[in-house]
Chain A
Amino acid sequence: DTAVSQTPKYLVTQMGNDKSIKCEQNLGHDTMYWYKQDSKKFLKIMFSYNNKELIINETVPNRFSPKSPDKAHLNLHINSLELGDSAVYFCASSPRDIDTGELFFGEGSRLTVL
C-alpha cells in the first residue's frame, strides 16, 4: 500500500495550459508539502500545509495554487504553464509540523512543458 501517492506520474502539455497534480497520503500525517526538483536536482520547497492550513509559501509564482481539501490530500494546480515549469514535482508528508520529523516522499510527477 503506497504511503504517499501522486498522480499523474508523467505530464506532457503545451505552454499556456492549466494542469493539476494530486497527492494523497495514508500515513495519518498532519503536514504535507510540495517540492520542485529541477534539472540540476535541487529540491526546493514550494508549499507546506499543516492540517489543511497553509504554513509555508515560498517565493512561488501565483500561477501555482495548492489546495488541501483534508489533511490526507494536497493538490497542486498550475495555471498558464511556462517552459520553466518543467521539473519533477514531489509531494511529501511528515508526522508533525516542521520539527525533526522525516519526510515521506511520493514518487514524483514529471511535468514537461512544450
Chain B
Amino acid sequence: SQKIEQNSEALNIQEGKTATLTCNYTNYSPAYLQWYRQDPGRGPVFLLLIRENEKEKRKERLKVTFDTTLKQSLFHITASQPADSATYLCALGDYKLSFGAGTTVTVRA
C-alpha cells in the first residue's frame, strides 16, 4: 500500500541552526512533491513545489531536494528562527495530493 513517512514527529533545534526534515514514500510515483507549513489551529500554507525531474529547489531560507531513486525528499530550514516553529507537511502529487503526518519543528531562542 502507498505510504508517506516523515522522519520524527518532533524536531527541536537551536536558533540559527539548520533544521532538516525527511519525507520518504513507498509505492508512489509522484509527478511532484510539495511542502506545506501548518500552525496550530490554522490551515496548511504552501511553501515549495519540486517536480520529479528537479533535484533541488530554493526559496529564501528554505531548500528542498527530491530523489526519486531513494524515494525521498529533504526539506531544510537554514538559519532557523523561533518564527519557523510549526508543523511541516510533505505532500505527493499524482492524480491527487496525498499528505504525510508532518514533523513539528520547535526552534529555541
Contact = CB atoms under 8 A, between A and B. Distances in A.
B36 to A, nearest CB: 8
A102 interface: yes
A90 B43 contact: yes
A101 to B, nearest CB: 9
Contact of B87 (A35, A41, A98, A105): A41
Interface in B64-89: 87, 89
B99 A43 contact: yes
A107 B97 CA distance: 18
B49 to A, nearest CB: 6
B59 interface: no
B98 interface: yes
Contact of A43 (B41, B42, B44, B95): B44
B96 A108 contact: no
A105 B46 CA distance: 9
Interface residues of B, number: 23
Contacts of B25: none
B34 interface: yes
The size bracket of the interface on A is 20 to 34
Contacts of B45: 105
A114 interface: no
A104 interface: yes
A56 interface: yes
Nearest to A107: B43
Contact of A105 (B31, B32, B44, B100): B44
Interface of B: 31-32, 34, 36, 41-46, 49, 51, 87, 89, 93, 95-102
19 contacts: A4-B43, A35-B99, A41-B101, A41-B102, A42-B101, A43-B99, A45-B98, A48-B96, A56-B96, A92-B43, A98-B97, A100-B51, A102-B49, A103-B34, A103-B46, A105-B43, A107-B42, A108-B42, A108-B43
